[in-house]
Amino acid sequence: MYLIKAEIAIIAFLVFVAALAVKVTHGWVYGLPLLFAFIAIMVLFRHPRRITPSSPLAVVAPIDAVVETVFSAQDPFLKQDCVVVRMRRRHLGVMGLYSPAQGRIQQAWYGEQYERIAAEETSDIGHIYTAWIHTDDQDDVLVSFYRARTLRYLQIRPQPGERIGQGRIMGLSSIRYIDIMLPKDVKLKVQSGDSLKAGEGVIGHFIHHSKKKKNGKL
């Protein structure tokens, strides 16, 4: 296990060294706050090894999460029929944000003017950010983040036009609620209550377009 960013590792090292220095000069009582800060950094920014599925058509979980609900709707961004997988971050889940699929970020939407797709009462308090990922197999994935009355931090590294890899780190997030919007013909592997590991747990599989054509669906 290692930390997400090199600069965070440097900060953790300096905090640990400071804790030892204070312990030597003033005793453990005075060094404990710095030691707790070191432990907090190691827990919040840890980056455990995750094994990404070998299937390029798999959609993986972007965060350590529990599936709250799965339902069909029309997404408010591309105006397409889709399957929505609503996820809630697990307590003490990693802060790393993993790409659910390989492809290119086509567009991003910011701000609270976008309403969440209604399915049931939720405790979020507004839309933050949505990324549209267009996969190499011509499928569309939308990933939406929503505010909550908890610690909220979101950093997305790739910008529209840039490519991302399946299961690769694409940023940092402490956001609690995420919606994954997938094509309506996706083969889902999850249901309400399922627990998933970021970058490793499979949400579902795309139906390859060549198979759709062979079956007369396109």
pLDDT band at residue 210 under the 50/70/90 scheme: low
pLDDT at 125: 64
pLDDT digits (tens, 9 = 90+) for 71-88: 999 998 999 999 999 998
Distance, in Å, from the CA atom of 142 to the CA atom of 182, rounded to the nearest integer, reads: 7
- Alpha-carbon Rg for the chain, nearest whole angstrom, is 20
pLDDT at 1 over 90: no
- Rounded to the nearest integer, the mean pLDDT of the chain is 84
Domain residue spans of the chain:
2-47, 58-208
pLDDT at 218: 43
- Say if domain 58-208 classifies as CATH 2.70.70.10: yes
Listed range (16-25, 99-108, 138-147, 202-211) with the worst mean pLDDT? 202-211
Distance, in Å, from the CA atom of 118 to the CA atom of 170, rounded to the nearest integer, reads: 27
pLDDT at 148: 67
pLDDT band at residue 118 under the 50/70/90 scheme: low
Q: Which residue has the tokens 């706050």?
A: 33
Distance, in Å, from the CA atom of 48 to the CA atom of 215, rounded to the nearest integer, reads: 41
Token pair, residue 129, equals 């950010």
Distance, in Å, from the CA atom of 85 to the CA atom of 95, rounded to the nearest integer, reads: 20
pLDDT at 47 over 80: no
**C-alpha closest to that of 17 among 35, 40, 43:** 35
170, 199 in Cβ contact below 8 A?
Answer: no
Listed range (67-71, 136-140, 168-172, 185-189) with the worst mean pLDDT? 168-172
Token pair, residue 202, equals 């499979």
pLDDT, mean of residues 102-119: 82
Amino acid at 100: P
Q: Which residues lie across from 110 on neighbouring strands?
A: 129
Determine what percent of the chain is predicted with pLDDT higher than 90: 40
Listed range (9-18, 73-82, 203-212) with the worst mean pLDDT? 203-212
Q: What angle do CA 181, 45, 195 make, to 5 degrees?
A: 40
Three-class SS of residue 39?
Answer: helix
